[in-house]
Amino acid sequence: MNVMQEKLAFLLDKYSVEAKATLLNRDVVAVDGAETPLLSHCLERRFIELKNMVLNNTLSGVSVMRVARIIHKGADINVALYREFDLCQWILGEIICQVTAFQNGNVLNVIATTKSGIVCTIEISATLADDMEPIDKHEIIAEHGIGCDVVVDAQLKQDSVYVFGDTKQKFTDVDFELYGLSIEDIAIVRSAFSLAQKKNGAEHIEADCYLNKLVAAAEKSAERCERVVL
Amino acid sequence: MKPLKIAMMSMTHGHTRKYYQVLKENPKLDWVAVSTANDEVKEIFLNSVDGIPCYDSELAMLDAHPEIEAVVLASENSDHLRQMKLCAERGIHILSMKIPTFDMDEYEEMIKIVEENGLVCQIELEMHYNPVIARLKELVKNKEIGDIKAFNATNITLSPVWAFPWQGVPEKSYGKRVSIKEGDHRFRGGALCDHPHIFDMIRHMTGSEFDTIYAEVAPNIRPDLEEEDMLSVIGRMKDGTIFSLDPSWSKMENRLKVPGPGWEVFPKRMEVNITLHGEKGTVMADCFGPNVYHSGLPNDRYTVQYTYFDEWVGLIDEFVDNIRNNKTPLINLKWHKKTVEAMNACYESIATGQPVKL
């Protein structure tokens, strides 16, 4: 957390942002004392580009968004679901208004529908060993084109650098200003910086509130075996 | 063993051409004749295969070749019952395409005909003869990831309707014209009807049956189709396993009359991926790969060139073995009935907007 706070301070200083921003944990930043949910996942570059594809009509006539995320055993699948609900809404620029879910312990499958009728399929599982990084895939299928964060005809993402020395290593570096941080840590710092710069914490608080309602709707749907309309 | 004298009917089904090579090369077979449903498919067949007598009518073929022992019904779904009756009258064994019928009364009639006439009727679900599936079945049997908790799979392709027009006609694909849901201009009979494999495979891998199904139809990516092309399915098996199935036509195609190079718009024309989550971990499998890639003719567009499509070799070997040794096919009418019922439940869920209990 210290390294991320240092990088955040560097950005605030470099871009002359006067607000005081303190990372309280990986999910919350205090901007001038006001605690705000970071929703940092949205600022991963892959998601920014997927959103741009929808926004600028590169993917025209979106029909379906398919999401799969596998996290480590013991992790909270509802936290993962919150994240993926947020990504679907943020990338598509639409609110989800219907949720149907089936859960079997640490695995969860959801179909959610946005206001315009785009269908989102979300598959979550907490089945990976502790030392493994999360595996995920986000795919948008449209009348004109498919956008995805995994290359065609592959099951897993590529990394930028592979080292085959005495030990195998791999690196994925995506931000020169924040060089050395992981993709997730970069997104946290960028999100905190953005909130300090734009002072749009109210939007995040509103989004967080609705996301919690969506997660609760999924829990209710899984429990009662029915579609829940918000 | 005496080669099995085999014929094909209609030649309108998308899988017709998959049989050309295996029927010619398999030493256990003697390919006797074909009958074609129309001039278009007749021309395609004559341009593709030499030396096999081709008839304009099924009856003419059957009358001219009383030696025929088995027939591949390479036809639209709406013709299957009629053709099964024709075969049964003559004691001819049947290899049916993947959907015998969606009408469960017709389905019962098919079972009765086959049983009363002592026929082998094998359903063409070729994924069972895929080596990746063989590996998955072995991993499941050995409980590599413990008991299965979720079965998530795609069976996604381009839409075949431009090359095989009957698949775009609800009466021929689904068997009748039924609105997909109130207020929607589309009808049953699209992508779902083309993709039973994953509905079948989950039953094999879990050893359990469908308990609850929820399906949602998405906006078509081909607005000019009158059937669904995008849908998502989730639910639960009786043993508690949950599932997520995607049987969509989500890969865009060029609208070719005859499938061939340049069919794809999206680089990959077809995908069957299966992810199993178990008590001890996860298995992810791509049933068709590794592949090679090119950006050559006819469209200079990046394209996935598949390296393996031999499922029909194993499928035909089993078919011959079933007939010669009087065995029941792995995928027989009775087994497959519950798969078709689950697919019908998807349509019911789409229509009602709620999960359907089976």
Contacts of A128 in chain B (CB under 8 A): 281-282
List beta partners, residue A98: A113, A229
E-state strands within chain B: 4-10, 29-36, 54-55, 70-73, 93-96, 121-123, 148-157, 210-217, 231-237, 242-246, 270-278, 281-286, 292-294, 303-305, 356-357
- CA B120 from centre of chain: 18
List beta partners, residue A108: A103, A124
Residue B308: band (very low, low, confident or very high) from pLDDT cuts 50, 70, 90: confident
- CB-based contacts of B286: which residues, under 8 Å, 6+ apart? A153, A155, B132, B271, B272, B273
Residue B309: band (very low, low, confident or very high) from pLDDT cuts 50, 70, 90: confident
ipTM for the predicted complex: 0.95
| pLDDT value for A39 | 97
- Token couple for A225: 């075996």
C-alpha separations of B253 from A146, B224, B260 in Å: 12, 14, 11
Walk along chain A (230 residues) and give the pLDDT tens digit of each residue. Answer: 799 999 999 999 999 999 999 999 999 999 999 999 999 999 999 999 999 999 999 999 999 999 999 999 999 999 999 999 999 999 999 999 999 999 999 999 999 999 999 999 999 999 999 999 999 999 999 999 999 999 999 999 999 999 999 999 999 999 999 999 999 999 999 999 999 999 999 999 999 999 999 999 999 999 999 999 99
- Full set of structural domains in chain B with CATH: 4-126 (3.40.50.720), 127-308+331-357 (3.30.360.10)
| pLDDT value for B68 | 98
Nearest CA-CA distance, residue A46 and chain B, Å: 20
φ, ψ (nearest 5 deg) of residue B54: -120, 125
Tell me the three state secondary structure of residue B146: coil
Q: Which of residues 248-277 of B touch A (CB under 8 A)?
A: 248, 250-252, 266-268, 273, 275, 277
Region B245-258 average pLDDT: 97
Residue B335: name the closest of B134, B133, B122, B179 by CA. B122
Residue B322: band (very low, low, confident or very high) from pLDDT cuts 50, 70, 90: very high
Residue B248: band (very low, low, confident or very high) from pLDDT cuts 50, 70, 90: very high
Does B59 contact A at CB distance below 8 Å?
Answer: no
C-alpha separations of B69 from A81, B15, B31, B91, B96 in Å: 55, 21, 10, 8, 14
Distance CA B302, CA B312 (A): 27
Contacts of A103 in chain B (CB under 8 A): 242
Question: Does B310 score more than 90 pLDDT?
Answer: no
C-alpha separations of B318 from A53, A110, B126, B228, B313 in Å: 48, 38, 11, 34, 9
φ, ψ (nearest 5 deg) of residue A11: -65, -45
**Residue B278 to residue A119, Cβ atoms within 8 A:** no
Q: Enumerate long-range contacts of A7-10, CB under 8 Å, 24 or more apart.
A: A7/A178, A7/A181, A7/A189, A8/A189, A8/A192, A8/A193, A10/A177
- Encode pLDDT of B151-199 as tens digits: 999 999 999 999 999 999 999 999 999 999 999 999 999 999 999 999 9
Is the distance from CB of B154 to CB of B162 less than 8 angstroms? Answer: no
Is the distance from CB of B35 to CB of B60 less than 8 angstroms? Answer: yes
Testing the interface with B: which of A81, A99, A113, A119 to mutate, by most B Cβ within 10 A? Answer: A119
Tell me the three state secondary structure of residue B332: strand
C-alpha separations of B290 from A153, A176, B112, B307 in Å: 8, 34, 43, 7
Average predicted confidence (pLDDT) for chain B: 96
Contacts of B276 in chain A (CB under 8 A): none
Give chain A's contact residues with B (Cβ, < 8 Å): 61, 63-64, 66, 68, 70, 100-111, 113, 117-119, 121, 123, 125, 127-129, 135, 141-143, 145-146, 152-153, 155-156, 225-227
Domain spanning A40-183+202-229, CATH class: alpha beta
Contacts of B217 in chain A (CB under 8 A): 119
| pLDDT value for B83 | 97
Q: Which of A63, A107, A141 minimises the CB distance to B150?
A: A107
Residue B346: name the closest of B226, B143, B196, B240 by CA. B196
Q: Which of A70, A107, A143 minimises the CB distance to B221?
A: A143
- Encode pLDDT of B53-91 as tens digits: 999 999 999 999 999 999 999 999 999 999 999 999 999
Is the distance from CB of B54 to CB of B42 less than 8 angstroms? Answer: yes
- CA B354 from centre of chain: 27
> Is the bond preceding B290 in cis, omega lying within 30 degrees of 0?
yes
**Residue A118 to residue B230, Cβ atoms within 8 A:** no
E-state strands within B126-185: 148-157
- How much of chain B, in percent, has pLDDT values that exceed 70? 100
Handedness of CA A69, A74, A77, A79 (dihedral sign): negative
Is the distance from CB of A119 to CB of A113 less than 8 angstroms? Answer: yes
| pLDDT value for A1 | 77
